[in-house]
Amino acid sequence: MQYYNQNTLIYLNGEFVKATGTRVDLFSQSLHYGYGAFEGLRAYSTHNGTRIFKAEAHFERLRKSCEAIGFSYTWNNRTLIEQCYALLSANNLRSAYIRPLVFSGSNMHLTSATEAHIMIAAWEWGPYLGQHLIRVNISDIERPSKKSFLIDAKVSGQYINAIRATTDAIRNGFDEALLVDQEGYVAQASSENIFIEKDFKIYTPPIADVFPGITRQTVIGICKELGFEIIEKRLTVQDIYTADSAFLSGTAAEIIGIKQVDHVVYKEDWEHTIGASIQRKYKNLVLEQENYEVII
């Protein structure tokens, strides 16, 4: 996958520069110790023009992630969002995945960063897990413990675990991995939150145990709006196996249905599940098609 070419511009510390013209500080703590914070946003081409979905929430989470690891966050989020729109337009992108990354300068000590840099890149990217129903496995690799890791912050180093779990899943013929917490409850996928449907109700693990996905929050809002009962509750592996259907949520993957978990194949036709209704509603929401058909 090519993320940039000779003409691609990125935003770097207040300026737009050629992606090919930048250099990485090989003594950066981010490179050596995974000490960085990042975000993932999506811009959609809507009938109102290009619109970044929930940009404020994403940049607010970036600020929190930075503060959690001791980066001083000196940027103004409104300005950064404006710069994202300028970046899209500079690269002629109408819909894109947007990746802001805060990284440190050179420091080989294990002390908080004395300098923080920000870069924002954007590229065209289809749904992260594709458009078809996926197969997932329950990974042997656990989610990092809340006591030792900042599970609610989007910080670079902790994705090593996700990379290991995903690689392992793919090697075993699956598309994505589900990770359990230290107590054996299914917490989430490598980089998505999980929902299951059982007897016409939707269940998802409580916020305290998982990464606070913005799409997760959107799904909860959609359930409430559409009148589906949504229950936040810890889920066992057995709950996942005996569900009627299940799906994942994330900015990159959007809403994607699961057809199989380990050896268990869900019998329910996805198109008739609550998840499929949520998926349709989510698409309308990001494309700002709410009531659009009615208006035109």
Site residues for ligand PMP per CB under 6 A = 40, 154, 188, 191-193, 211, 213-216, 249-252
State which residue, 29 or 249, has the beta carbon closest to ligand PMP: 249
**Cβ atoms 96, 124 nearer than 8 A:** yes
Closest distance of CB 240 from ligand PMP, Å = 16
The tokens of 100 are what? 């802001």
State which residue, 41 or 93, has the beta carbon closest to ligand PMP: 41
Closest distance of CB 145 from ligand PMP, Å = 14
State which residue, 63 or 154, has the beta carbon closest to ligand PMP: 154
10 by Cβ neighbours in 10 Å (0-12 / 13-18 / 19+) ranks as buried
Q: Give CA–CA dist 110/88, Å, rounded.
A: 36
What are phi and psi for residue 21, nearest 5 degrees? -95, 5
Closest distance of CB 149 from ligand PMP, Å = 11
State which residue, 272 or 280, has the beta carbon closest to ligand PMP: 280
37 by Cβ neighbours in 10 Å (0-12 / 13-18 / 19+) ranks as buried
Q: Give CA–CA dist 116/71, Å, rounded.
A: 6
State which residue, 1 or 294, has the beta carbon closest to ligand PMP: 1
254 by Cβ neighbours in 10 Å (0-12 / 13-18 / 19+) ranks as buried
Which of 145, 148, 241, 151 is closest to 193 using CA atoms?
A: 151
Closest distance of CB 75 from ligand PMP, Å = 19
Closest distance of CB 247 from ligand PMP, Å = 13
State which residue, 40 or 105, has the beta carbon closest to ligand PMP: 40
Closest distance of CB 246 from ligand PMP, Å = 15
